[in-house]
A and B are shown apart, each in its own frame.
Chain A
Amino acid sequence: MPEISAEQVAHLANLARIALTEEEIAHLTTELGQIMQAVEQVNQVATPDVPPTSHPIPMQNVFRADVVTDDVLTPEQALSGAPERDGDRFVVSAILGEEQ
């Protein structure tokens, strides 16, 4: 029986940068636990002769030619959905950490 703890939910919320109250964490712990149980049912029908699959369609090697297309946006288009901009760059709140 899969379980998820309140600590794990709080940790995930932190990774996803979502602020949750204690009540919300308790609520989500119950809900996520139920979702995990539902997904767990798949394991009951999975047998050793069914290999794990990451893609439902048996396809491979789908490539694109290395050519620039007209999908390229203008800065105006690129920034049209930005909540805030400075010149041609997006403005975001400062976030400490997690830089790759």
Chain B
Amino acid sequence: MARVELMDYEQALELFEPVIGLEVHVELNTETKMFSPAPNPANEKYHGAAPNTLVSPVCLGLPGSLPVVNGEAVEKSISLGLALGCSIAESSRFARKNYFYPDLAKNYQISQYDEPIAFDGEVEVELADGRTFQVPIERAHMEEDAGKLTHVGGATGRIQGAEYSLVDYNRAGVPLVEIVTRPIFGAEGDAPELAKAYVSTIRDMAISLGISEARMERGNLRCDANVSLRPRGAEQLGTRTETKNVNSFRSIERAVRYEIQRQAAILAKGGAITQETRHWHEDTGTTSPGRPKSDADDYRYFPEPDLVPVVPSRERVAELRAALPEPPPARRRRLKAEWGFTDLEFQGVVNGGLLNEVAATIAAGASPAAARKWWTGELTRLANASETDAASLASPEHVAELAALVEAGTLTDRLARQVLEGVVAGEGSPQQIVDARGLAVVSDDGALIAAIDAALAAQPDVLAKIRDGKVQAAGAVIGAVMKAMQGKADAARVRELVLERAAAAE
């Protein structure tokens, strides 16, 4: 493969203005699929089902089968549209998007084209330093997800070089809302961060609406990032690329930044950007070309003859609007005040995409300080080490349980970190791991005193110093005791006992 040249990021920004556009797909968590009464794997209840066990004749496009719209999916789509500040269509209809690929057996995807359910919205997005951006929303439309292909053969399991593919149609027909922004101007060097913060905002929205499980690592929320550059002072937009397969917050930021640097290097040399789909590779942090982007004409959209128009009643839309949860910016301001976090502490939570995790952990009984500490501390460290999002590593309930064990003195922070590693490795709940690994703090003074007496006897010079009032000398004994207890003791309690025993020693 040809070596890809990247321009220095700052230099790229001096020469070009980045313009981004984002498409976010949200899988709805309804009980059944968009057009078929088969169970929906994007609902927690059916997640991880064996291949081809969640399919009906509609999902397989069998002859004679007919789609029927899931009314609940329409309501959830309308709620999301309203939360995005969109107008809800007086009349909305479905369209066929024709393409031949085995991820949908019927050779077309039922989507929406000229009459989406929601359009013309605006979403407030906050950056790490507290500045806000208004992201313009062009539309949000309903459609169905496609099946899952596993490419077999070839070196890497990627599309390129595969010999054949295996198809699981469980995901075919999962209800999706695709949210499309207008081109976003003016973000400048913050464009990559804005892209990440926008997707994070959509995720918060979906969770507070209760319309999606919204787990990026499961593909409940997926982002395609369009990036183009235009030379400073130019009117016309540059040619854009669309990067797909960007499935974590950190990769969204990295992918946009990478495309800015890659395109700048090509343009600066007088080259042209090819309008194409590019695939993001998490492992290398690079994008590679996919297919040339089809014109909309090639999809030969036409109104779906099997479905009649959706005409939401204005009364129902008003009810759904009245039932909306508070908007993310207002919610953030309220939570920050309730939790008593400083600006910096709160931004750490928000920027890590951890607001919902911290909120759920506090709801499960942890103190705000403990919830923040575990999510932005150890879990974020583990997430960075494994290049994933902290939110995917542990459940709020487990983190709350861990905090309770520390609070109760069963675990020291050091032991708690070991337990957390067990949780992340899927060994069970914190209490189960404490039991299984025997990690609890030794709170039995008898056992501690025996170890302290032994350590003091082994270090008579230290004992003499302590008795002379040189309390800091106790460190050597504390260290020896902690080692003897394999770290499973509370150092503060050991120190207290060391001083007591030294005073009492003959």
Contacts and interface: CB of A to CB of B under 8 A. Distances in A.
Interface of A: 15-17, 54-55, 57, 59-69, 71-75, 78-79, 81, 86-100
A55 to B, nearest CB: 6
Given A59-B308, A64-B70, A90-B167, A15 B100 contact: yes
22 contacts: A15-B98, A16-B100, A54-B305, A55-B303, A65-B71, A66-B31, A66-B72, A66-B73, A68-B31, A68-B37, A71-B36, A71-B58, A73-B56, A88-B50, A88-B51, A90-B102, A91-B165, A92-B166, A93-B165, A94-B162, A97-B290, A99-B291
Contact of A78 (B99, B104, B169): B169
Given A65-B72, A66-B73, A95-B165, 4 more contacts: A15-B298, A86-B166, A90-B167, A96-B291
Given A72-B54, A98-B101, A55 B305 contact: yes
Nearest to A95: B101
B308 A57 contact: yes
A81 B146 CA distance: 19
B70 A63 contact: yes
A76 to B, nearest CB: 9
Interface in B155-179: 159-160, 162-169
Q: Per DSSP, are chain A's interface residues mostly helix, strand or loop, or mixed?
A: loop
B242 to A, nearest CB: 12
Interface of B is mostly: loop
Contacts of A65: 71-72
B80 interface: no
Contacts of A88: 50-53, 168
Q: Which 7 A-B pairs have the closest CB atoms?
A: A54-B303, A63-B71, A66-B72, A97-B291, A89-B166, A69-B37, A94-B162
A61 B310 contact: yes
B68 A62 contact: yes
Interface in B341-399: none
